[in-house]
Amino acid sequence: MKKFFLFISLLFFTQISLGQENPRPKVGLVLSGGGAKGLAHIGVLKVIDSLGIKVDYVAGTSMGAIVGGLYASGYNAEQLDSIFSNVDVDALLQDFTPRGSKSFYEKRNDEIYALTLPFNKFKLGLPSGLSKGLYNFNLLSSLTQHVSHVRDFKQLPIPFLCIATDAETGEKVVLDSGVLAQNMIASGALPTLYSPVEINGRVLIDGGVVDNYPIEELKARGIDVIIGVDVQDGLKTREELKGVTSVLAQINNFSMIEKMEGKQKATDIYIKPDIKGFTVVAFDKGKEIIGKGKEKALEFVKELTPFSNLGSRNNGNVIAQDSIYIKDIVFNKLDNFTRAYIIGKLKFKRNTKISMTQLQKGVLNLNATQNFSAINYSFEKMQDGDKLILHLKENENTAFLKFGLHYDDLFKSGILLNYTKKRLLAKNDVASLDLILGDNIRYNFDYYVDNGFYWSFGFNSKLTTFNRNITSNIADNVVSNTTANAINVDFFDLSNQAYLQTIFAQKFSLGGGVEYKFLRLKSETLEDTNYVFERSNYLSIFGFMKYDSFDKKYFPRTGWNFNSEIRYYGYSSDYKGNFERFSVAKADFGFAQPVFKNMTFKLQTEGGFSVGERSVSYFDFILGGYGFQQVNNIKPFFGYDFLSLAGDSYVKLLLTADYEIFKKHHLNFSANFANIGNKIFDTIDTWLVKPNYSGYSLGYGMETVIGPVEIKHSWSPETKDHHTWFSVGFWF
């Protein structure tokens, strides 16, 4: 019967065409929501494009709004297939901020804590959503840059609307004007997965809550023929109803499915791809889902052909815009952050031509601070460029409790408890206290005032303790007149720093400061049961330059880093009475580069030396063991146990090949070589020769929510010794 009426309708329009200039019926496209299953829309669009069907209006909800909005902006189906085939699936579902967007302070904070919870008024809270959707917004904003000045969606290449839900009232909100990217994100803000989006004072969430198939909106706009693509789930069977969650979802679907009966009847060409078995987050199955959509659409070629017009084929004439001239930068009034702070994080100023990548990185820099609960932006056309309009919502949460777990062979077991407070004394400051409980009690206190482009300053207080056997070659440096092959040492280091730092060349962290240190070393191994061989205060000044673009701290795939420091020790309380002023300089450089699909090669080279006739051996470079937590000049070195090699100067090379056997599981092989001793840089012959020390390691590592879990077996051809090290969790 439906086909009969469709035929009569076409006949009617044909008759009208004899007396009218534009006889073609208006064709509308309605695309339902369904998360990743909405990728099936692209497969249907491939068939529509191949037939040359001109679509006059697009309406969508959630994923249907995203696919439909991009299609309406000018992309064809083949381009959409390419776009969604190259997105970062994990980033789509998480509040993903690249490591390169974070400051050194933020990198540290994000790489030692397994769990972070808001903590205000002595009450723990939970985040409003797993993701702010900023990666998605940046992606869609970049993809729609060619229509960034369009505010009325009827002016798009294809008129467009989408549906959202008012989270406060439950009302349906029709979005047909504004910023296209922002509207698409609002329509797809799935509760609990993505945070709500604020538009025009209304807090919006996923439109699928109220209208997941907005056919009525198309009919209200005079559309004659409607092609509908439905990727919604039907009702589950009793066998599929497992657990409270599925039952509640079933209850919520009753009314939606009841409404769909009428909506389906009102659809002229109703296409429902067979995507049973795919979940709403199965973006990694995108190719299969797109194929399912195309497969189903091909069954409707006969019904679609009457609307074919190959001369109207969507050729996807979107020209990607890779740069933009920022004439001005404005943002809403902020209570706690200055313009200098915002511009400093963006790392570009007005009257500057930037790439779209630079823009996205700048926005991600702002997000990395965690000072803003919502970030979006738009563009306003000016005479000589664009005005960048930022809308920033300050995070109401200023206090957090953070937790971590760790075990390694040097510091042993540790439980990390952290309290972080922002805006403690100044608007743009942050105070953080780590308390580490376990085999070795430690703490780390940081106070930092971030002034963006201007000089920032901070204070750090840190206590490091551990107990370890020191081999005889190290013992000779720190203890005289002993015949023991090894001694057990209690290490106690209390350091306090005040420092200044700024951004140099928009890449490097450059700074300096002053440090007061109390160092105590004692052993009960020696004849005196409480023998103390170091108990002195030290005062030093230091300068540093740092850069780090590794995509990950652990198991990096790309990027490089550089660290350098020079330190002058000008004063000591001099426990032994023989202190002389001296300086220590050190630097390291590394890079990581993928060589095959799952294989990464990493190179790390480093070295250091002292200047002056010093008599303090406790600041020697000491090599051995494995780890990321470095104290003073203690460095890891495969093939030798912790604290095995010492000298006032050294040079070291580390080569690592890492193979990701499957996602987040790694096999790696490392080889390191070193020369270390006293004054080895005095002549070339003492360091630029065949290395005196070498070691190798074979390891397995797994990335987990609490940090890396690793086991490494190490050996050295010089000593024939073998060592196996095991570590769990982020290093702190």
Over residues 626-634, mean pLDDT? 89
pLDDT score for 18: 39
Q: Which residues make beta-bridge pairs with 449?
A: 429, 457
pLDDT score for 19: 42
**Residue 627 to residue 636: CA distance in whole angstroms:** 6
pLDDT score for 240: 60
What is each CA distance from 171 to 30, 160, 217, 252, 355, in whole angstroms? 20, 20, 15, 16, 39
pLDDT score for 238: 60
Predicted structure pTM score:
0.76
pLDDT score for 682: 80
Neighbour tally for 110: CB within 10 Å: 16
Strands 429-438 and 412-422: antiparallel
**Higher-scoring residue by pLDDT: 228, 280:** 228
pLDDT-based confidence at residue 554 (cuts at 50, 70, 90) = very high
Residues 160-216: tens digit of each pLDDT: 999 999 999 999 999 999 999 999 999 998 876 788 899 998 999 999 889 999 999
Over residues 342-360, mean pLDDT? 90
- Looking at residue 194, the DSSP 8-state letter turns out to be B
CA distance from start to end of the chain: 71
Residues 385-401: tens digit of each pLDDT: 999 999 999 988 889 99
Residues 54-64: tens digit of each pLDDT: 999 999 999 99
* pLDDT value at 110 more than 80: no
pLDDT score for 606: 97
Residues 398-430: tens digit of each pLDDT: 899 999 999 999 999 999 999 999 989 988 899
pLDDT score for 477: 52
pLDDT score for 11: 44
**Higher-scoring residue by pLDDT: 123, 646:** 646
Over residues 2-18, mean pLDDT? 45
Strands 665-677 and 693-704: antiparallel
Strands 27-31 and 225-229: parallel
pLDDT score for 126: 62
CA dihedral 62, 64, 66, 71 (to 10 degrees): -160
Three-state DSSP state, 306: helix
Helix (H) or strand (E) holding 327: strand 323-331
* Non-local CB neighbours of 135 within 8 Å, separated by 6+ positions: 88, 91, 92, 94, 95, 96
Q: Which residues make beta-bridge pairs with 163?
A: 61, 174
Residues 287-319: tens digit of each pLDDT: 999 999 999 999 999 999 998 875 566 667 787
**Residue 250 to residue 95: CA distance in whole angstroms:** 28
With a pLDDT cut of 70, the percent of the chain lying above it is: 87
Strands 599-611 and 582-594: antiparallel
Backbone angles phi, psi at 495, to 5 degrees: -120, 140
Residues 145-165: tens digit of each pLDDT: 999 999 999 999 999 999 999
Over residues 616-621, mean pLDDT? 86
pLDDT-based confidence at residue 476 (cuts at 50, 70, 90) = very low
pLDDT score for 522: 85
Write out the E strands in 39-171: 57-61, 115-120, 123-124, 160-166
pLDDT score for 4: 47
Mean pLDDT taken over the chain: 87
**Higher-scoring residue by pLDDT: 669, 125:** 669
Over residues 708-716, mean pLDDT? 97
* pLDDT value at 530 more than 80: no
pLDDT score for 674: 96
* Non-local CB neighbours of 621 within 8 Å, separated by 6+ positions: 586, 608, 633, 635, 646, 647, 648, 649, 650, 676
pLDDT-based confidence at residue 560 (cuts at 50, 70, 90) = very high
Cβ atoms of 478 and 470 closer than 8 Å: yes
**Higher-scoring residue by pLDDT: 569, 531:** 569
Q: Which residues make beta-bridge pairs with 357?
A: none
pLDDT score for 690: 83
What is each CA distance from 285 to 181, 280, 282, 477, 658, in whole angstroms? 24, 11, 5, 60, 27
pLDDT score for 15: 43
Residue 602's closest CA among 699, 689, 521, 508? Answer: 699
* Non-local CB neighbours of 389 within 8 Å, separated by 6+ positions: 330, 331, 377, 378, 379, 380
**Residue 304 to residue 69: CA distance in whole angstroms:** 22
Write out the E strands in 167-268: 172-175, 197-199, 202-206, 225-229
Residue 399's closest CA among 121, 714, 677, 135? Answer: 121
pLDDT-based confidence at residue 21 (cuts at 50, 70, 90) = very low
pLDDT score for 130: 59
- Looking at residue 317, the DSSP 8-state letter turns out to be -
Over residues 368-385, mean pLDDT? 89
What is each CA distance from 455 to 341, 503, 510, in whole angstroms? 11, 8, 10
pLDDT-based confidence at residue 612 (cuts at 50, 70, 90) = confident
Residues 200-257: tens digit of each pLDDT: 989 999 998 899 999 999 999 999 999 999 998 765 666 665 655 455 555 556 556 6
Over residues 628-650, mean pLDDT? 91
* Non-local CB neighbours of 322 within 8 Å, separated by 6+ positions: 355, 356
Residues 324-345: tens digit of each pLDDT: 999 999 999 998 888 888 998 8
pLDDT score for 427: 84
**Residue 344 to residue 339: CA distance in whole angstroms:** 8
**Higher-scoring residue by pLDDT: 121, 252:** 121
pLDDT score for 10: 45
Residue 330's closest CA among 399, 403, 388, 252? Answer: 388
Over residues 88-92, mean pLDDT? 73
Task: Look up residue 272 and give its two tokens.
Answer: 């429902």
